[in-house]
Amino acid sequence: MEQDELLKKRLLDLATKADRQNVYTYTGFLSLAEQSEYHQMERELAFAGCQMFGGAENCERMMLQFGSADTFGYEGTFPIAVLEIRPSAEKFAEELGHRDYLGAILNLGIERSLIGDIVIREKKAWVFCVESIAEFLCDNLTKIRHTAVRCSISSGSVPELAPHLEEVILNVASGRIDAVAAAWTKLSRSKVTELFREKKIFVNGRLQENVSYQLKEGETLTVRGYGKIIYNGILGETKKGRSRVQIWVYV
């Protein structure tokens, strides 16, 4: 609770600074839980003008900008850099996961809020980070587990960062969020209910605590620890009267 209050105070301070000094202000990268806290006070902060961006489409961790072009007369630029990490010798490189990349970065003394999403494609990864630490990471991130790596700042768009989606058809009792989440994650309904209590279920980046919430077409469902999907609606019914729903799974 204390952390929540500190975050709210920080957001209000940044919004007030942007409004009074006519300068864009930025948070670090916010987790889904922190974004949900922001959404709870969105109206309170609307006076400053707010925008969220994570560095690319559909990022989970997002940076919040206070200020607007209508007020300041120019567009703000999010201070986000994209780092490309590749093995020095691909032939000898290990299969590295998200925890491996993040752990190696945090072991350099980097705060979690300075790092956004990490996108892994085969033996390469792209890391969104606050611009001010990009050069430091390029100079100091030389090894992940036992694999020697090279780190460079990407310029322009990176096609590999486009989200990869896989179509999945589920047979569920209804379009209720708990039913869809259970079928997708292959967890029991009681386990999914527990995830609700643990505040690990988000819809469109907002914490969702209503287990009977009816998902709407196009909404994004995130279950922390299991991934993210786009709910695409009910296609029809099975012979046994269950609903056939289409989802797109981020892979």
pLDDT of 182 over the 70 cut: yes
Q: Which helix (H) or strand (E) holds 70?
A: helix 69-72
CB 141 within 8 A of CB 85: yes
Name, in order, each residue with C-beta under 8 angstroms of 230's C-beta and a sequence gap of 6 or more.
165, 218, 219, 220, 221, 247, 248
CATH 3.10.290.10 fits 165-250, yes or no: yes
Quick one: pLDDT at residue 159?
A: 67
pLDDT of 158 over the 80 cut: no
The domains of the chain are located at 2-72, 80-161, 165-250
Q: What is the CATH number of domain 80-161?
A: 3.30.70.330
Write out the CATH class of domain 2-72. Answer: alpha beta
Quick one: pLDDT at residue 62?
A: 96
User: How many CB atoms neighbour CB 155 within 10 A?
Assistant: 9
DSSP class of 73: S
Quick one: pLDDT at residue 167?
A: 96
pLDDT of 243 over the 90 cut: yes
Q: How confident is the model over 111-149, as pLDDT tens digits?
A: 999 999 999 988 999 999 999 999 999 999 999 999 999
Q: How does residue 208 score in pLDDT terms, banded at 50, 70 and 90?
A: very high
pTM for the full predicted model: 0.86
Average pLDDT over residues 222-250: 94
Q: Which residue has the higher pLDDT, 155 or 80?
A: 80
